[in-house]
Structure 1
């Protein structure tokens, strides 16, 4: 099959062409239906300004619908016959419809094709991210409420510090993922701009109905300047990965806690068997491999963002370098979202070993309570601190008294879960 850009008398070297195409055919499978959707809007716009007749537009619309149906049914496969998904759409329409198919590319470039298809795909991925983060926050809030009075050690520097509670631990993840959900929603709103009709970055000498295409594709606004549309490639992808990395960063720290708590040295957490695997040599082992791979997943997302950042070290305008932003985008978002999708069930399934948690509460962990009590009774805090540091003054206490006494806002004795629920409810209503 000849290439869209191939000129008469120009020989195509197979090795060079393989390098130029790279993984585009495989990667474009992610965006193919979005490219078809955008082609619908573009064809409608061409018909509205008289470039396509009504019959041609009707045929193209039906042809695009048929191609989408063939794709979903597996009757059409995007493979190495094509340079990329964009050229495949035009080639199939031309083969099936003749001149009407040859007209579909009027007034657009593969540059704005990839921009709009990617933008539509990113909106879906960010919606998925926001939804998952909201679900995680809900589970964490429910468990915080149910386990608000379950004592557990609080740590700093991985050393026993003060008496805390499982409710306090869960509430931290709840608030983290409310923020992550809000960031995903805000990023989606920020990138919700239509680049279709910007062509190669300088517009075209046609009165394209860009506002109508914006409405047809459900974008919140038009990305006005064609030069900025090119500048946003890579920039918007990095923003989406940054929103995802905010969540996978918290996922990593959650997984770290769980992996520590499952060790015999801690023994606080029992994982369901489905989250563990056996050793190939040690019959006694059950390893928290799922949790460890969740912990490592942030690296994939962060690396993808860094890779794109290096690619876009470019002047303004389109450059073929930008083709290399597609792979890390698909890889980073795909892996990160798959990892996060496992978190809700893990959170629901995690079981505490209460006896081990209680046994880890030693008298030294009440020293801070003692210092605050002495200061509250009028002793200057530094003197109270000195007196409370004396092990002779440490005594076994009721951990529930320690939890109940910690009443500063957000502390174990005053979790303010209702405030977090209100924020989550506002997010669910689209107001966050």
Structure 2
């Protein structure tokens, strides 16, 4: 069954090529397609295109299908082109002509647009929850190891003293930056395209404000051409969020791989979190973090892939957009998996103690010596030159004490302030209002 089916049959090879992976990927959209239809039929009744009894029948059938979709999953049967065809087929099979009425006033174009926005909106909510779990794990480790010093590097050269508290909390605060990006993306997604039809509206007196409220959108995409141009743009913005968070996670994974190596030995993990070698019995490999690094590197290429899929397209719908699902759906899943495994593994990391007592790190304290001379009244440039001469002639005696007290330094990590920054940012998401609207639409208690 195809929503555009006419009096002729499509060539089977052409059909297989054009359908592509839609049947498989559309299973992700099933609950959202049903919710979009629930809002649409309520609106159709409000403008007189459905009788009250027909609305009740459609709502009951759609809510039953929704429950199946969220609990058991829904597949697109052979012969069905996509999830939109599948849902309409099931309704028509149960309700006859009443099921055939649900497509009035919409096109597959705005139907898939609203499905995607509802799905993407839920994915961003889930990603933000997973980010919060990782954020909490990082701050927990930062608090636990705030006094354990760590060599800080620039140019791969030992540079200045750092600490594990500073290292862990740096990534926690970086996640706040990523959350801000996700919030901007969420607010762009949270506008209703339903009613734009094929991109040029419809001659029915549609009440788009009603469907906006029913689906929990904060506003609607008013211009119908603009609404249609959201296809591709939404995916591109999502790709920036995915790539940005992947950059944070990938750098963290790269640090871990470096820090657990024998030449550094800054971190260790329980044996059960590492893998071995088929030939070298001593090996304990950080495969999880190497795979994280590789996955995150791959995810950072996603914006290029999305932008190239849509490059040069004029306004209006194009079948090219179908391939966006194949890029963005797996990427969302991979990012969630990366967040989950990091949240699981990082609390098990054990930092090494007394690292800076090693003689190789004696020059880490050169800046401390310079600053002490400045505090005693010597101009900074003279102090810098004096300590440099001591290092060169072998007379430098490092102080080996760190006296950093300013905000965000080793001695003042500002962990409560970083947590407050997260909380302020998280408050900008209207998750609760959206969840309430969705539950009401689905006929569930809130």
Q: What TM-score results when the alignment is normalised by the length of structure 1? A: 0.93
Looking at structure 2, the residues matched to 76 and 373 of structure 1 have their Cα atoms a distance apart, in angstroms, of 69
Residues 18-417 of structure 1 mapped to structure 2, 5 A cutoff: 18-72=16-70, 74=72, 77-313=75-311, 314-356=313-355, 358-359=357-358, 362-390=361-389, 391=391, 392-398=394-400, 401-402=401-402, 405-417=403-415
The aligned counterpart of 2:422 is 424
Q: Is the 8 A contact 2:40 2:211 kept in 1?
A: yes
Looking at structure 2, the residues matched to 18 and 360 of structure 1 have their Cα atoms a distance apart, in angstroms, of 67
Number of residue pairs matched? 426
* Cα shift readout 1:158-189 (whole Å, capped 9, x = no counterpart): 11111111111122112111222232223212
Moved more, 31-40 or 234-243: 234-243
**CA-CA distance at 1:35 after TM superposition:** 0.4
Q: Is the 8 A contact 1:269 1:352 kept in 2?
A: yes
For the residue of structure 1 that corresponds to 2:152, the secondary structure is strand
Moved more, 371-380 or 16-25: 371-380
Q: What TM-score results when the alignment is normalised by the length of structure 2? A: 0.90
**CA-CA distance at 1:57 after TM superposition:** 1.4
Q: Is the 8 A contact 2:228 2:317 kept in 1?
A: yes
**CA-CA distance at 1:128 after TM superposition:** 1.4
Looking at structure 2, the residues matched to 415 and 69 of structure 1 have their Cα atoms a distance apart, in angstroms, of 47
Q: Is the 8 A contact 1:133 1:180 kept in 2?
A: no
**CA-CA distance at 1:72 after TM superposition:** 4.5
Moved more, 420-429 or 248-257: 420-429
Looking at structure 1, the residues matched to 74 and 246 of structure 2 have their Cα atoms a distance apart, in angstroms, of 35
Contiguous gaps of at least 5 residues in structure 1: none
For the residue of structure 1 that corresponds to 2:316, the secondary structure is coil
Looking at structure 2, the residues matched to 258 and 88 of structure 1 have their Cα atoms a distance apart, in angstroms, of 47
Looking at structure 2, the residues matched to 254 and 34 of structure 1 have their Cα atoms a distance apart, in angstroms, of 34
**CA-CA distance at 1:64 after TM superposition:** 1.2
For the residue of structure 1 that corresponds to 2:231, the secondary structure is coil
Moved more, 260-269 or 351-360: 351-360
* Cα shift readout 1:175-216 (whole Å, capped 9, x = no counterpart): 111222232223212221011111000100011111111111
**Distance change >3 Å, CA 76–CA 319, structure 1 → 2:** closer
**CA-CA distance at 1:268 after TM superposition:** 1.2
Looking at structure 2, the residues matched to 16 and 141 of structure 1 have their Cα atoms a distance apart, in angstroms, of 54
Looking at structure 2, the residues matched to 359 and 292 of structure 1 have their Cα atoms a distance apart, in angstroms, of 28
Contiguous gaps of at least 5 residues in structure 2: 431-446
**CA-CA distance at 1:76 after TM superposition:** 5.1
Looking at structure 1, the residues matched to 429 and 197 of structure 2 have their Cα atoms a distance apart, in angstroms, of 35
Q: Is the 8 A contact 2:117 2:189 kept in 1?
A: yes
* Cα shift readout 1:8-30 (whole Å, capped 9, x = no counterpart): 2x341111110010000101011
Moved more, 72-81 or 125-134: 72-81
Moved more, 93-102 or 414-423: 414-423
**CA-CA distance at 1:83 after TM superposition:** 0.7
Moved more, 387-396 or 162-171: 387-396
Q: CA RMSD in A?
A: 2.0
* Cα shift readout 1:340-393 (whole Å, capped 9, x = no counterpart): 111222221111121456436622111111122223333332332222123234
Q: Is the 8 A contact 2:387 2:396 kept in 1?
A: yes
Q: Is the 8 A contact 1:363 1:394 kept in 2?
A: no
**Distance change >3 Å, CA 418–CA 70, structure 1 → 2:** closer
For the residue of structure 2 that corresponds to 1:171, the secondary structure is helix
Residues 7-18 of structure 1 mapped to structure 2, 5 A cutoff: 7-8=6-7, 10-18=8-16
For the residue of structure 2 that corresponds to 1:179, the secondary structure is helix
Looking at structure 1, the residues matched to 45 and 424 of structure 2 have their Cα atoms a distance apart, in angstroms, of 42
Looking at structure 1, the residues matched to 84 and 429 of structure 2 have their Cα atoms a distance apart, in angstroms, of 37
